A and B are shown apart, each in its own frame.
Chain A
Amino acid sequence: MSTKIITPVAEFAELLPQEYKDLVAHGPYNERRSVRDLGTFKEIVDEHPHCAGCGVALAIRLLAAALPSPADTLIVGTPGCSFFALVQAALNYSNTAFGNQNAVASGLKRMLQIRFPHIHKDVVVVAGDGGIADIGLDLTLHSWFRREKITTIMLDNEVYANTGGQESGMSRQGKVLNMAPQGKRFPKIPVFELAKVSGCVYGARVTVASPHRVGRAVRNAILLAREFGSTYVQIYTPCPTNMKFSPDQTLKVARKAEKDHYTHEEFMSAEAAAYLARLKAESKEMRE
């Protein structure tokens, strides 16, 4: 995308809301931004109607800041909590049926490769744990089996939050939730492990308590998807509303999880590792 297409004609410029003008002048489209730069540029997600202390909203803010090329990024999602911020993001976002996201992304990525063979159009799935691990699991896995060049990001709040706090496949065993009145009877679905054996060339498990790690994981995942195939990032995004903790405790809950059941883990193929090392060396050279 050229910023020309978002730059209003002079006659129209004054009519646009300030936030749009800010996006054109100080948005992330022209120069590279990262999680480190938050607060210094106009973000592509700002206002949103998420609950106070929402882990999903925080993860979306972080991943949006980490996109390597927001001007050429297309997000595919699902109905659910992640919808709220993403639908107001200043990039193309689509969500239609619940669970179809990785199939939509597959078709979209292939068509964009046909139409723009010389531009990296990053197709990124951003969806919740219900959308990916339950209703969309088969389509997710098949997109990985096919080695589709897309990134899948799970915002894992371990619950169906938007529908009112029901058990999901990613809920923890024993947790009492709606539709699990006696506690969940089986452990979290090992989607991260499935990603390893299903063809993903890169995977990272992170929490919102480590923002730089989230940023790096998202960036790595997208850069590697361009070259090698499917990549996966699973972010723990605690939900104060349904898990009944105070909204100011989100980071604390995430930090505790990071030491406990949500430890940081990363895997990548040998060629992916070599590629990232080469990128790092190149950017060091450029700095020097």
Chain B
Amino acid sequence: MAGLQREVDPEYLFSGVPRRQVFITGSEAVAEAVKRANADMAIAYPITPQSESMHLVGDLFAQGYLKDYYRGENEFAVMAAVHGASLGGGRVFTATSGPGTLRAMEMFPVWAGSRQPIVCAFMCRGVSLPPSIQPENIEMAMLLDTGMLMFHAEDAQDLYDLILRAFVIAEQPDVHLPAGVFVDGFFVTHTRSAVALPPDDLKLPAYDPRRAPVPTFDMETPPIRIVRDPLLNKSNFISYSANASWHQEIVAAAERARKHIRRYMGGLLEVEDPYAKIFLAASGTAVSQSREALKVLRSEGIRAGLIKIKSVRPFPTEEIVAATAHAELIVVPEFNIGGWLAREIKAAIDNNRRVVGGPRLFGGMTMPTELIVNEVRNALDWSGAKRPDLRAGI
């Protein structure tokens, strides 16, 4: 019951209390997270595959877990309304998908520029490239430089965990930035899996606007005259400089999020078999497929490790450099045509010819493990190295 929930320390909710396993969809996992998030308000707009999550959040409102909820008129309006609600000093949640993300695009830098800890779930799907409602995460590439924190969930368990952790990380006074929790639509949202949940009579502590590093927009928080001289529309060095330093502060705030991500998410990435020479590096459901591919590779006597990237923004540059220091081959399977994760990794490490971007699946195509395995085999053949323990020289 909503009225009987009690606020507990986030770490207790995350790992201090025994969990019970349930068999639910990714969409239901979103609702389970929002139920325990102590959110004030959520605003929704339908789009497949996101809709079901926000229906369930609507049900939570009807049950008293949220204080307000409505269906907006389009995604731009929803993201704008969420911005307004957050300005008013409360905790807000919304979600969208693919074309909805693009339609709302103008608002994401506004959230970051206004230093708002809005949490938005992105149930990624194709955009009109050509039109597709099927799973792929090209929209993530388009959000990389909006200033928001970006966490990529592998499965429903991750999705549940990351949404709650996103609120806590995003709301840290030295961060106070929006956080997107991304998941590959359908694969996770529409399938059932085992998710371990803490009791639902526990919730996060309420958002405290007095801890915000920017004044709340409520005519209660000084200074009421926020801007004496507008940064915008002035053609002089001072205004450019003020704008630039504010912008830099957003980037710096995302940097400061790293320590909180390590604390609450156990790191920006996870590494399996750190001494391997071959790695599969992935985020989202491509991680799950990589786990399957690893089994095949190992059965063939090829030793390979796994790098699961959980935080895409901030990007785990140092961690990847360290994890791949002795790697000779890094294969990056992705659910999009652009290969944004491979680009990110290539930009982070030296000798980036070690990175093979692929396989890339999109338009709803699934990622059979053979494709990942073949990518590794091909790279090894091409390098002339038949055995992974020999230096591949690629």
Docked complex Cα distance between A106 and B80 (Å): 9
Residue in A6, A84, A107, A138 whose beta carbon sits within 8 Å of that of B74 in the complex: A138
B228 within 8 A of A: yes
Stretch at the interface among A56-64, A90-98, A215-223, A239-247: A90-98
Number of A-B contacts (CB under 8 A): 145
Is B300 interfacial (CB-CB < 8 Å)? no
Known: A92-B226, A111-B41. A103 touches B77 (CB 8 A): yes
CB distance from A118 to the nearest CB of B (A): 13
A18-32 vs B: 1/0 string, CB under 8 Å? 001000000000000
Contacts of B173 in A (CB 8 A): none
* Residue B114 interfacial (CB < 8 Å): yes
Stretch of B4-12, B179-187, B215-223, B271-279 contacting A (4+ beta carbons < 8 Å): B215-223
Q: Which residues of B contact A96 (CB under 8 A)?
A: 80, 83, 107, 110, 113-114
- Residues on A with C-beta less than 8 A from B41 are 107, 110-111, 114
A100-B107, A103-B80, A146-B70 given as contacts; is B227 within 8 A of A88 (CB)?
yes
Which of B86-94, B305-313, B347-355 has 4 or more CB atoms under 8 Å from chain A?
Answer: B86-94
Residues of chain B from 204 to 235 with CB closer than 8 A to chain A in the complex: 217-230, 232-233
Provided the pairs A91-B219, A103-B72, A110-B68 are in contact, do residues A142 and B77 lie with their beta carbons within 8 angstroms? yes
Question: What is the predominant secondary structure among interface residues of chain B facing chain A?
Answer: loop
Q: Do B228 and A105 have beta carbons less than 8 Å apart?
A: no
B154, CB-defined interface residue at 8 Å: no
A114 touches B107 (CB 8 A): no
Would you call A111 and B89 a contact (CB within 8 A)?
yes
Q: Are A97 and B106 in contact (CB under 8 A)?
A: yes
Interface check A179, CB cutoff 8 A? no
User: How big is the A interface, by class?
Assistant: 35 or more
Contact A108 B217 (CB under 8 A): yes
Q: Is A112's CB within 8 Å of the partner chain B?
A: yes
Contacts of A110 in B (CB 8 A): 41, 68, 70, 85, 88
A139 beta carbon closer than 8 Å to chain B: yes
Q: Does B264 contact A (CB under 8 A)?
A: no
Q: Is the CB of B227 within 8 A of A87?
A: yes
Residues in B neighbouring A105, C-beta threshold 8 A: 84
| Residues of the A chain whose Cβ atoms lie less than 8 Å from the Cβ of B217 | 74, 92, 94, 108
**Nearest A residue to B234, CB-CB:** A49
Known A6-B224, A138-B77, A142-B73; judge A107-B219 contact (CB<8 A): no
Q: Report whether B73 and A83 are in contact in the complex, using a CB–CB cutoff of 8 Å.
A: no
Q: How far is the CA of A79 from the CA of B233 in the complex (A)?
A: 10
Q: In the assembly, what is the distance between CA of A44 and CA of B40, in Å?
A: 32
Check if B78 is an interface residue, CB within 8 A of chain A.
yes
Query: CB-CB < 8 A to A273: which residues of B?
Result: none
Decide: B85 and A87 in contact? CB cutoff 8 A.
no
B43 interface hit (Cβ, 8 Å):
yes
Q: How far is the CA of A5 from the CA of B218 in the complex (A)?
A: 12
| CA–CA, A231 and B34, complex, Å | 34
6 contacts between A and B (CB under 8 A): A1-B220, A88-B228, A107-B43, A107-B84, A110-B68, A121-B219
User: What residues of chain B have their CB less than 8 Å away from a CB belonging to chain A?
Assistant: 40-41, 43, 67-68, 70, 72-74, 76-78, 80-90, 92, 106-107, 110, 113-114, 217-230, 232-233
Interface residues of A (CB under 8 A from B): 1, 5-6, 20, 71-74, 76, 79, 83-84, 87-94, 96-97, 100, 103-116, 121, 138-139, 142, 146, 162
